[in-house]
Structure 1
Amino acid sequence: MNLKNLMDENIEVVEIDKATWMISEGIGRSRAHCYLVEGNNQAALIDTGLHVIEMKSIVEKLTDKETVILSTHGHIDHVSNHYQFDKIYLNGKDDAIYDLAYNSELRATLLRGWFMSKGVESSEFEKAPLKEYLIKQTQLPPKKDYEELSEKQIIELGNRSLEVIETPGHTVGSVSFLDSKFKRLFIGDTICEDGVLLHFKESTSVATYLESLKKLINRKDEFDELYAGPQLVSLPTSIIEDFIGCAELIIDNKDNLDEIAIKEQDHYSVQYKKARLTVPIQ
């Protein structure tokens, strides 16, 4: 893949229905999906992606409603364009990783690592156009303050609302948003086609993640589709059962993970049917 293709944000807007859009950016399996949900009075943008793009301009072409930002969690690939908007919601338990997402040094390290993993030589970082691209992607304005999200909070949009469901696991502050009118659940990285990463220091225990999954399965009659942050959308609700099975498998075999998991650099990877979870090596 050439350098020009690597720097292309590959922005795509997909209409889910007349008042819901998916805004995607990035390359391949690392594409980030954001969701614009419009009501009669205001709209909500669920997450704002990784690459710095003209997200506000894209949103304003889709809706003339005032738009608030709802964060599924604080990771860099979900909050990078928050600064373009006035009203932001986030679970405060993810405050520390939200801070990191706006740290220019960290952003530069992550982006350089990604480019080098694609075969880009380190000497290219000091040349145009990559040098200018990295400046754009790393030198962000200060992060915006936010209002707290909490369990069962209702975000009213006007003849449409989104309910906050706390789903800790991938991060301690992860939340999902239930669109009861259209029976959709926007889940961020709580469930992903390629698996869920639970080996970060900001991740919870597998037991806590399992409780989040059980909370969702107990409400499965309230939604027909799962809309995730990365990879395939939409996901069938039946995949929740697979992730429950995977979490239970890990808990039941916590003392002999070598027998059921693939051991990677700093974590174990466990597969159960269509679900995959990573957990730290103790």
Structure 2
Amino acid sequence: MLKDDWFTVRQIDENTYAISELGHWEKVHSFLLLGETKAALIDTGLGIDCMKRITDQLTALPIDVITTHVHSDHIGSHGEYTRIFVHKDEESWLVNGIVGLSLEQIRANTVRDITIPIPKTFNPDTYKPYTGKPTGLLKDGDVVDLGNRKLIIYHTPGHSPGHICIYDELKSYLFTGDLLYDETPIYAFYPTTNPVDLVNSLEKITTIPNVNMIYGSHNTLGIKPDILEEVKKAVIYLRENDLLKFGTGIHPFKGFSVQF
């Protein structure tokens, strides 16, 4: 498998790769999905190093970047690609900048707790999250066709207004972005988040049929779909106990936790 000083590349199957930044505290994963006519890159990481250097080694297909949401750790290498897609509710964030976090906060989050050498090409003092006009806008129910491989878009707001999950019909993978992952809390505690929407979105993904594996954007690579049964229980618990509001804290469940 491809070796790199910054990125860890792991092959999920013959046409699917995880491109991870495991030396950073956020342990961010981006995903490259190859089809017959084009490829999809789900997010582009932190922007500390050049992701196109990696994708160029993995495929010669044209690449559509599908943005799960416009936070700085998911759009870092967007500027290296020509075709970028985002949910319509976050078009303005991509064009004008991320709402709710100062550049100083973003820079501090980007450079803290890094356990491997930072590329010499990266300057934390001048780092700015990508801004630019997307190629196209996504909405709930859209299908991205890679030729022999169709990706279904689910609008799943809460962590951010235009957050999406992507279901790969061919492989039955569900890419959940920052809606569902393990180890560290899923969060909706910033003013730009919405606890009610987040729980509604968690409930929504439990209704997607035939999920074989879940790939969140942080921490463990690949979570078994049994976790969706725990998500169903969590949704009921959070609603019944009137916890869907800012300031109620961290709520642990089997396999994941949520913070409001």
TM-score category, normalised to shorter length: 0.7 to 0.9
- The reply on whether 1:161 has 2:150 as its aligned counterpart is yes
Residue pair 1:50, 1:80 contacting (<8 A) in 2 also: yes
Aligned residue pairs total 251
Per the alignment, do residues 26 and 144 of structure 1 end up closer, same or farther by CA in structure 2, a change over 3 Å counting? farther
Per the alignment, do residues 188 and 196 of structure 1 end up closer, same or farther by CA in structure 2, a change over 3 Å counting? same
**Range moving further from structure 2, 240-249 or 34-43:** 240-249
Q: What TM-score, normalized to structure 1?
A: 0.78
Residue pair 1:79, 1:101 contacting (<8 A) in 2 also: no
Matches within 5 A, 1:15-164: 15-27=11-23, 29-98=25-94, 99-101=96-98, 106-112=102-108, 115=111, 133-135=123-125, 138-139=127-128, 142-164=131-153
**Range moving further from structure 2, 184-193 or 90-99:** 90-99
Residue pair 1:48, 1:81 contacting (<8 A) in 2 also: yes
Pairwise CA RMSD of aligned residues? 3.1
- For residues 107 and 214 of structure 1, what CA distance do their matches in structure 2 show? 33
Per the alignment, do residues 195 and 243 of structure 1 end up closer, same or farther by CA in structure 2, a change over 3 Å counting? farther
- For residues 95 and 272 of structure 1, what CA distance do their matches in structure 2 show? 33
Per the alignment, do residues 244 and 68 of structure 1 end up closer, same or farther by CA in structure 2, a change over 3 Å counting? same
- For residues 212 and 133 of structure 2, what CA distance do their matches in structure 1 show? 34
Name the SS of the counterpart of 1:94 in structure 2. Answer: helix
Residue pair 2:107, 2:125 contacting (<8 A) in 1 also: no
Q: Decide which structure has the larger Cα Rg and report it.
A: 1
Could you tell me which runs of 5 or more consecutive residues in structure 2 were left unpaired when the two chains were aligned.
Answer: none
Name the SS of the counterpart of 2:10 in structure 1. Answer: strand
Could you tell me which runs of 5 or more consecutive residues in structure 1 were left unpaired when the two chains were aligned.
Answer: 1-7, 119-128, 258-262
**Which residue of 2 is the match for residue 185 of structure 1?**
174
Q: CA deviation at 1:9?
A: 7.1
- For residues 32 and 39 of structure 1, what CA distance do their matches in structure 2 show? 23
**Range moving further from structure 2, 241-250 or 191-200:** 241-250
- The reply on whether 1:235 has 2:223 as its aligned counterpart is yes
Percent of aligned pairs with the same amino acid:
23
Bigger helix fraction: 1
Q: What TM-score, normalized to structure 2?
A: 0.84
Residue pair 2:203, 2:231 contacting (<8 A) in 1 also: no
Selected match of 1:223 from 201, 208, 211 = 211
Q: CA deviation at 1:233?
A: 1.5
